[in-house]
Structure 1
Amino acid sequence: MIVTLTPNPALDLTYHLEKLDLGSSQRVPPAQVRAGGKGINVARVLHAQGHASHVVAPVGGAAGATVREDLDAAGLRHSLLEVELATRHTLALVTPTATTNLNETGAALSGTQWQQLIALAAAALTDGATADDVGPRSHLRPVVGESSIPARAVLVCSGSMPPESPVDAISCLVEVAHEHGARCVVDTSSVPHLRAAADAGADVLKPNHHELLAAMGGDDVLTAARALANRGGSIVYASLGAAGLLRVPPDGAVLHARLNRSLAGNTTGAGDAAVAAIAACLATDAPAEETVRLATAWSAAAVLHPLAGSITDPAPLLADVTVETVTTAPALKD
Structure 2
Amino acid sequence: MILTVTPNPALDVTYAVPGFRPHASHRVAEVAAQAGGKGVNVARVLGALGRPARCVLPLGGPTGESVRAELAAAGLDHAEVPIGGDTRRTVTVSDGTDATALNEPGPVLTATEWDALLGETARHLPQASVLVLAGSLPPGAPADGYGQLVALGRQFHLPVVLDADGPALLAALPARPTVIKPNAVELTAATGLPDPRDAARVLIRRGAESVLASLGPDGLLAVDRQGAWRCAPPAAVAGNPTGAGDSVVAALAAGLSGNAGWPAVLPDAVALSAATVLHPRAGHFDVPAYRRLRASLTATRVGGLAPLGL
- TM exceeding 0.5: yes
Q: SS at the partner of 2:267? A: helix
Tell me the equivalent position of 1:194.
169
Tell me the equivalent position of 2:134.
158
Tell me the equivalent position of 2:49.
49
Correspondences of 1:65-84 after superposition (within 5 Å):
65-84=65-84
Of 145, 152, 160, 1:184 maps to: 160
Deviation (angstroms), 1:254: 0.4
User: How many matched pairs?
Assistant: 303
Amino acid at match of 1:225: A
Tell me the equivalent position of 1:230.
205
Residue 217 (str. 1) matches residue 177 (str. 2): no
Tell me the equivalent position of 1:175.
151
Across the aligned residues of Structure 1 and Structure 2, the Cα RMSD in angstroms comes to 1.5
Structure 2 residue runs without a partner (length 5+): 306-310
After superposition, give the CA deviation of every residue in 1:216-273 in whole Å (9 maximum; x if it has no partner).
Answer: 1122111000110122241100111111100000x22200110011211110010000
Task: Out of 17-26 and 297-306, give the one that drifted further.
Answer: 17-26
The answer on whether the counterparts of 1:154 and 1:279 sit within 8 Å (CA) in structure 2 is yes
- Provide the rounded CA distance (Å) in 1 between the counterparts of 2:269 and 2:6: 20
After superposition, give the CA deviation of every residue in 1:266-323 in whole Å (9 maximum; x if it has no partner).
Answer: 1001000000000010011012110111111111111111110111212111133242
Deviation (angstroms), 1:196: 2.3
Deviation (angstroms), 1:22: 2.3
The answer on whether the counterparts of 1:259 and 1:322 sit within 8 Å (CA) in structure 2 is no
Tell me the equivalent position of 2:300.
324
Deviation (angstroms), 1:30: 4.0
After superposing on structure 2, the runs of 4+ consecutive aligned residues of structure 1 that deviate more than 4 Å are none
- Provide the rounded CA distance (Å) in 2 between the counterparts of 1:269 and 1:233: 23
Residue 264 (str. 1) matches residue 238 (str. 2): yes
Tell me the equivalent position of 2:276.
302
Tell me the equivalent position of 1:241.
216
Deviation (angstroms), 1:33: 0.5
After superposition, give the CA deviation of every residue in 1:169-223 in whole Å (9 maximum; x if it has no partner).
Answer: 212211111112211110013x122112222110010011111111111221110
- Provide the rounded CA distance (Å) in 1 between the counterparts of 2:112 and 2:245: 30
Deviation (angstroms), 1:108: 2.0
The answer on whether the counterparts of 1:6 and 1:37 sit within 8 Å (CA) in structure 2 is yes
Tell me the equivalent position of 1:87.
87
Q: SS at the partner of 2:251? A: helix
- Provide the rounded CA distance (Å) in 2 between the counterparts of 1:199 and 1:322: 33
After superposition, give the CA deviation of every residue in 1:83-112 in whole Å (9 maximum; x if it has no partner).
Answer: 111111111111122211111111221111
User: Structure 2 length as normaliser, TM-score?
Assistant: 0.94
- Provide the rounded CA distance (Å) in 1 between the counterparts of 2:8 and 2:95: 26
Q: SS at the partner of 2:100? A: strand
Amino acid at match of 1:293: P
The answer on whether the counterparts of 1:87 and 1:107 sit within 8 Å (CA) in structure 2 is yes
Structure 1 residue runs without a partner (length 5+): 128-149, 330-334
Amino acid at match of 1:73: A
- Provide the rounded CA distance (Å) in 2 between the counterparts of 1:227 and 1:291: 23
Task: Out of 16-25 and 288-297, give the one that drifted further.
Answer: 16-25
Tell me the equivalent position of 2:308.
none
After superposition, give the CA deviation of every residue in 1:112-162 in whole Å (9 maximum; x if it has no partner).
Answer: 1111101111112224xxxxxxxxxxxxxxxxxxxxxx5xx1111101111
- Provide the rounded CA distance (Å) in 1 between the counterparts of 2:182 and 2:304: 18
Amino acid at match of 1:169: G
- Provide the rounded CA distance (Å) in 1 between the counterparts of 2:202 and 2:92: 34
User: Structure 1 length as normaliser, TM-score?
Assistant: 0.87
Amino acid at match of 2:260: A
Q: SS at the partner of 2:222? A: strand
Residue 285 (str. 1) matches residue 289 (str. 2): no
